[in-house]
């Protein structure tokens, strides 16, 4: 049984993340999406909000693919989160070279902590590759149109967030 773990901050979930999840679903029997508390990054959306937006997206993807997806919060070590959820395949998305160095180090650390956990890197479709949560927030904050980058629900949530200031 192949159980994938796709961890991230997802602040907020984008169409880039969705493309990676879609691709991951073709490789696993079950997928666990782990939403990081990530206090270091001071997320715009709370853990509850990020989890709810991810759940909404995953519901549709799970119906489409018939692969079970669960969305869980996580705050501890990634390798422990994988163990707790019975995951044996770590899924990460790769964008440009800038992602590579950090991801390279992460694989090394995670492998030292748990040699059984294999990491798989996926690339989104060219159209989705430049999408980053950080830039989406920036565009939304300045009143730009983000409908090419996020789902309608997330677009509404961003508008609400920045309206409230």
Catalytic residues: 17, 41, 95, 133
Give the span between the Cα atoms of 33 and 8, in whole angstroms.
Answer: 8
- Please choose, out of 58-66, 69-77, 130-138, 139-147, the segment that lies near ligand ADP by the rule CB under 6 A: 130-138
Per-residue tokens: 144: 């730009």
Give the end-to-end CA distance of the chain in Å, rounded to a whole number: 46
Q: Which of 55, 65, 88, 129 is in the footprint of ligand ADP by CB under 6 A? A: 129
20 binds ligand ADP (CB under 6 A): yes
119 binds ligand ADP (CB under 6 A): no
Are the C-beta atoms of residues 94 and 100 closer than 8 Å to each other?
Answer: yes
Are the C-beta atoms of residues 72 and 35 closer than 8 Å to each other?
Answer: yes
83 binds ligand ADP (CB under 6 A): no
- Please choose, out of 26-34, 66-74, 125-133, 140-148, the segment that lies near ligand ADP by the rule CB under 6 A: 125-133
Least spacing, CB of residue 163 vs ligand ADP, in Å: 23
Contact residues: ligand ADP, CB under 6 A: 8-10, 14, 16-17, 20, 92-93, 95, 99, 124, 128-129, 131-133
């Amino acid at each position: 049984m192949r159980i994938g773990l796709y961890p991230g901050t997802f602040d907020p979930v984008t169409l880039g993340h969705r493309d990676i999840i879609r691709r991951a679903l073709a490789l696993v029997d079950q997928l666990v999406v782990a939403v990081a508390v990530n206090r270091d990054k001071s997320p715009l959306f709370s853990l509850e909000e990020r989890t709810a937006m991810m759940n909404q997206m995953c519901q549709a993807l799970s119906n489409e693919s018939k692969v079970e997806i669960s969305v869980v919060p996580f705050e501890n070590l990634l390798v422990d989160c994988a163990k707790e959820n019975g995951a044996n395949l770590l899924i990460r998305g790769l964008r440009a070279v800038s992602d590579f160095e950090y991801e390279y180090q992460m694989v090394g650390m995670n492998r030292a902590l748990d040699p059984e956990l294999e990491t798989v890197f996926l690339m989104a479709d060219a159209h989705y590759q430049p999408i980053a949560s950080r830039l989406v927030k920036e565009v939304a904050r300045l009143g730009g149109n983000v409908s090419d980058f996020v789902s309608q629900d997330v677009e509404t949530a961003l508008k609400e967030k920045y309206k409230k200031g």
